[in-house]
Structure 1
Amino acid sequence: MNSPESIDRQEALDRFTHLTAIPGRSGEEKDVAEAIIEQLVAAGLDRSNCKFDGAEERTEIDANCGNLIVHLPGSGSGPHVLLSAHMDTVPICLGSQPVVEGDFITSSAATGLGADDRSGCAAVLTAAIERLRGSDDSLPPATLLFTVQEEIGLKGARALDASLIGKVDLAFNFDGGPIEKITMGAIGGERIDIKLKGLPAHAGVAPETGVSAIVIAAKAIAVLQQEGWLGRVSQPSGEGTANVGVINGGDATNVITPEVTLKAEARSHDSAFRTEIVQTIEKAFQWAASDTCNDTGVTGRCEFSSRVDYDAFHLPEDDPSALALESMLQKMGREPYRKVAGGGLDANWLNHHGIPAVTVGCGQQNIHTDSEKLDINDYLAACQIATQLICEPVS
């Protein structure tokens, strides 16, 4: 079996640029998945070992494929290792034209690169191809997971059919940041939908007969801001963040606006405190609706709903996947450090499904922007780590 150090640098780079040039926004990942399958089959894997889990039938948007689950057969003893990465990119990356510039890969087009997370996909794919080329049946079985719809709220990981994966001993999610960063946990997030209903009226002739939904929204937002429940939230009972990100309503300046819809979010590493933030936001909007009335005492109304996008998690300090990753990085001359993410990761839902996963950086920088780039040395190190994990049994 080839050692990780013998990975062909040019092949690994070509693998990344090939995958990155394929458009694949959330819900449209099938071409990326088929390119991955094509390379695995060319390396000797039977296509029957590649399965889709039908997650697209359990998510809200129209989508063309579910999560791709790949089983690498083996008869040897040792831990069952899972390697995962997500296939979708944000819209700014559509049309990416990856080019090598010194120690980095960038997009020559006016787009994002898409290293988030095609670098993770390419690292996992590189490891699988190295293993297939070695034809070493004495290795224990391993599983690859390529998820969908990560960028729009971890929808693919949430809808994962974990029964197709089975019991996992070690799990590594390749996504986000420098190779030295070991992400041990992530924040939990909840999305909020608010509909405010008032009464229309002519704004010039009889404004007093109307109830402005805009006024209701303004009152609630002002109170939340003044009392420290928007932005960085720090209260005696906990810490988190909250934001009202979208407001829609109104058609004309001469009409008292009868309806406004808002989208908001709350995040915290403490699930109970996140719930408290959401409840406080609801209380503010319900109060503002009941406090805003016309000249006859008719008040506004508030319809409020929320849903958990992903719950917070934190791996224990002695998590075996984290310890294995730490040891590998140290042997490579790197200085690993542990972090907890302020945004959601597929690992949030993997943990929920009973698959505790540590997240491995792949060298992505400036993600979700048109200045995104990939650190080549970090990416190649991620390829080496992924390869070692499934080509050399972890003790």
Structure 2
Amino acid sequence: MINNDRALSHLLDLLAVEGPSGQEAKVVEAISKKLVSAGCKKAWIKTDDAHKRLGAGYGIGNLIVKMPGTIKAPRIMFSAHMDTVPLCKGAVPVVKGNRIVAKGNTGLGGDDRSGCAAIVSMAETILKNKIPHPPMTLLFPIAEENGLHGSRMVRFKDLGNPAMGFNLDGQEPNEIVIGAMSAVRWKAEIKGISTHAGLEPHKGISAGLIGSKAMAAIAEQGYFGKIVKGNRKGTSNLGSVSGGEASNQVMDQCIMTGECRSHSQAFLEQIVKVHRASFERAAKSVTNDKGKCGKVKFSTISDYRAFRLRKSEACVKIASKAVETVDLKPNPLIMDAGLDANNFNQKGLPTVTLGSGSHKFHQLEEYVDIKEYLTACEVLLDIARLAS
């Protein structure tokens, strides 16, 4: 019952709206206007105060739409994050064959505007055609791309306490993500001693050298990139390096940041332990002519925790049945990444994640497969009917 032309129009419109992490106000406005036009009452639509609780750098909260049901049934939630990565700034979406791509040298933003548009299309179809449905909450979180911050700040009472969730953030519409990784962000603040690099380099302590030695040691131990230790697996990455002021000055400070991930919480702690120890050893190993050594402050923040849903969970069964309804075979999978669903599941809301036709995320080659996107719209509609 999805109007394909309308659904495609919603997607093209939302892809053209800029909304990097923390700056989603224009996306909130665009989605809200579409939902009001579809038949949502303005009283159903609000934003929460997640941005205020997150602090500086965040302009607006999560967009929450609470639709009353036409039948008595538990409330369900549909979600898709609004923000895109910086690569998508200035994206101009164009239809090229059976795909939507970005015109020019930018990413597209199908991650996750395809999910947002699919939810809008599903809601519009239900309201325009007066399809019986349970109470539904449409959640559009902010700041997913830079750390799942919006979903972490969500309060379930603001959502109407849904019984289960269906998150849109993936590729093929038959994908049903039932598990994902834990992740930790780390920061190494390295202190050295500044001296003239030409006249008295021996009196200085290079913070850059300490950081370099630490990362080399981590890699030599097999704890960088893809990590496999027996049946234990994980990943680690160095994300940013900053420090130093001039090429003729021994670098006296350097800050490195990165992340570690694993499906196993115990192994994740081991990966972090190796990183911490490597930086501490490196700091002690770099000395000047007086025997002084560098210092390091290594800190971590837990981004999100792993989850694993049983195939017997109601949201998994409903999503699988909806996929079968569009003549596809459900593909339950465990993802080596983090999703808003990590936070929802950690808080006690069973939530699966489905694909909405986006591919090659965070790349210039990103595209949305139009047929897959339209199928995802149908899957969402079937979920709403099955949940009744």
Q: TM-score interval w.r.t. the shorter chain?
A: over 0.9
Shift of 1:109: 3.2
1:242 maps onto 2:236 in alignment: yes
Map 1:379-394 onto structure 2 (within 5 A). Answer: 379-390=373-384, 392-394=385-387
Distance (Å, rounded) in 2 between the aligned partners of 1:236 and 1:110: 42
What is the letter of the counterpart of residue 78 of structure 2?
L
Cα separation, partners in 2 of 1:94 and 1:210, compared to 1, 3 Å? closer
CA contact (8 A) 2:189 2:255 kept: yes
Distance (Å, rounded) in 1 between the aligned partners of 2:195 and 2:106: 46
Shift of 1:393: 4.3
**DSSP-derived class of the 2:187 partner:** strand
What is the letter of the counterpart of residue 272 of structure 2?
V
Distance (Å, rounded) in 2 between the aligned partners of 1:182 and 1:208: 58
What is the letter of the counterpart of residue 11 of structure 2?
F
Shift of 1:236: 4.9
1:149 to 131, 143, 156: 143
**DSSP-derived class of the 2:272 partner:** helix
1:192 maps onto 2:186 in alignment: yes
Deviation track 1:75-103 (CA, whole Å, cap 9, x = no partner) reads 52223211100111112222222222221
2:72 to 53, 77, 101: 77
Shift of 1:306: 0.9
Deviation track 1:239-281 (CA, whole Å, cap 9, x = no partner) reads 2111222222223333222111111211111122112211221
More displaced, 163-172 or 350-359? 163-172
1:97 to 87, 92, 95: 92
**DSSP-derived class of the 2:342 partner:** helix
Deviation track 1:326-370 (CA, whole Å, cap 9, x = no partner) reads 122123221221211111111011112221210010011122122
Distance (Å, rounded) in 2 between the aligned partners of 1:111 and 1:256: 38
Deviation track 1:107-139 (CA, whole Å, cap 9, x = no partner) reads 223322211111100111111111222345x63
Deviation track 1:274-316 (CA, whole Å, cap 9, x = no partner) reads 1221122111111111222222221111111110111111111
Distance (Å, rounded) in 2 between the aligned partners of 1:56 and 1:253: 40
More displaced, 20-29 or 211-220? 211-220
Cα separation, partners in 2 of 1:65 and 1:384, compared to 1, 3 Å? same
Distance (Å, rounded) in 2 between the aligned partners of 1:249 and 1:181: 43
* Stretches of structure 1 lacking an aligned partner (at least 5 in a row): 1-5
Cα separation, partners in 2 of 1:54 and 1:327, compared to 1, 3 Å? same
**DSSP-derived class of the 1:7 partner:** coil
**DSSP-derived class of the 1:45 partner:** coil
Map 1:1-395 onto structure 2 (within 5 A). Answer: 6-135=1-130, 139-236=133-230, 238-390=232-384, 392-394=385-387
CA contact (8 A) 1:27 1:64 kept: yes
Distance (Å, rounded) in 1 between the aligned partners of 2:18 and 2:246: 39
CA contact (8 A) 1:29 1:64 kept: yes
**DSSP-derived class of the 2:160 partner:** coil
Equivalence for 1:3: none
Shift of 1:238: 2.8
CA contact (8 A) 2:78 2:166 kept: yes
- Aligned pair count reads 388
C-alpha RMSD of matched pairs (Å)? 1.7
CA contact (8 A) 1:243 1:265 kept: yes
More displaced, 124-133 or 108-117? 108-117
Stretches of 4+ aligned residues off by more than 3 angstroms: none
Instruction: Give me the TM-score of the superposition, normalised by structure 2.
Output: 0.95
What is the letter of the counterpart of residue 108 of structure 2?
L
CA contact (8 A) 2:180 2:337 kept: yes
Cα separation, partners in 2 of 1:261 and 1:133, compared to 1, 3 Å? same
CA contact (8 A) 1:191 1:266 kept: yes
Distance (Å, rounded) in 2 between the aligned partners of 1:393 and 1:224: 49
Shift of 1:145: 0.4
**DSSP-derived class of the 1:14 partner:** helix
CA contact (8 A) 2:322 2:386 kept: no
CA contact (8 A) 2:75 2:160 kept: no
Deviation track 1:128-175 (CA, whole Å, cap 9, x = no partner) reads 111222345x63211110111111111111111222113322311011
* Stretches of structure 2 lacking an aligned partner (at least 5 in a row): none
Distance (Å, rounded) in 1 between the aligned partners of 2:216 and 2:27: 45
**DSSP-derived class of the 1:86 partner:** coil
What is the letter of the counterpart of residue 107 of structure 1?
A
